[in-house]
Structure 1
Amino acid sequence: MTTQEPEMPLEDVLLAFSVEPVHDRDTLDRYLALYPQYAEDIVLLSHDLRVEGRGIAEAFEDEDDFQNALKQLRGAGTAEPRNAANPFEAFRGASFAALADRLRVPRSVLIALRDRLVIASTVPPAFAARVARAVRMSVAELVAYLELPPVVAGAVNYKADAKPAADAAKVAFDSLLDSSQVTPEQKADIYEASD
């Protein structure tokens, strides 16, 4: 039995639409696909916003209300929570290689973690703690990130003619180490608690 998310009230949908940075055809189509039951109201608001050239956001006196509406909108229709920050975002190029060296793992292991190709529950707690310290986040935040669906690397996304799908199945951490040709000594180091 699957549970459905509660339906978003019309007022919240319209508010979310109004605070979109751009009210173009793509934005309108996205909202119509997400909320077909409110199609007429969304289209009318879209027209009004184009005529007026501004959104409802200016009518808010309370910045918190505005920000909450914007967060709700950005999270609507997606399975991925926005609060699971990418711990590897700050590590690119040479800094990514340096992070792999610091963690004493091949880059392929770090790439699999970055792209969420590993079953989070199979990552040894000692290694998860080591990674979390290195990327300056809590172990719980790291695990929450790893539990999300796999991602498609940005370079693949950029070079593809059509939107690539993240269809790779997640693997157990031990399988990842084996496929990355990690030596028995490296495995022992990974499973130790010391940094």
Structure 2
Amino acid sequence: FFVDAPFKKPKPDPSTPSEPIEQAPVKELPFDAETIERNRNRRIPYLEAREAVELEQKEMKVVKEKIGEEVREACRPEIDEYIDCCVGRIFTILSCKPQALVMRRCMALVETPEFVAQKTAQYISEREASGESVLNNAAKGTTRERRSQYNRAILPTVEDPNEFLIRKPNRRAPKPCPDPTADIE
């Protein structure tokens, strides 16, 4: 009994170098600038924003899956111990509580907000560089610049990949702990 499914679908190895990414020329647009502007003005703003959010969510889903795999790989022994404890039992809450606490502690130590933010930025930039990105893929010709011509909700250029998100990920600031040495009145 392991963390991964027994017959996981093989994914292509992203470490193998693929063909060099060539940017599609802007001049090869299917419509002229006037038609693009006219169609862009007819679009419903809510649907434009919804399309942008869906693209961002697809991108973030893939990135979160990769981060989750990395965290699970780091805590694999603890997760396997917990799974071995749970298998074949009816009431696992009390009998497997020590293993559950060890597993959660490991995952909390590995999956810090700084780690997640760093890995998210790293994976987004890697996906854009390799041409796997849904939002900014120069190989397919779906760059931000080209999407922004048709959709006002997508920025043509961004300095920080996390800035383009319409819905920011939930980042809860930890509550400050009260000073135990302070006088209580």
TM-score bracket relative to the smaller structure: under 0.3
Larger Rg: 2
Q: TM-score, length-normalised on structure 2?
A: 0.24
Report 1 or 2 for greater relative contact order, CA contacts < 8 Å, sequence distance ≥ 6. 2
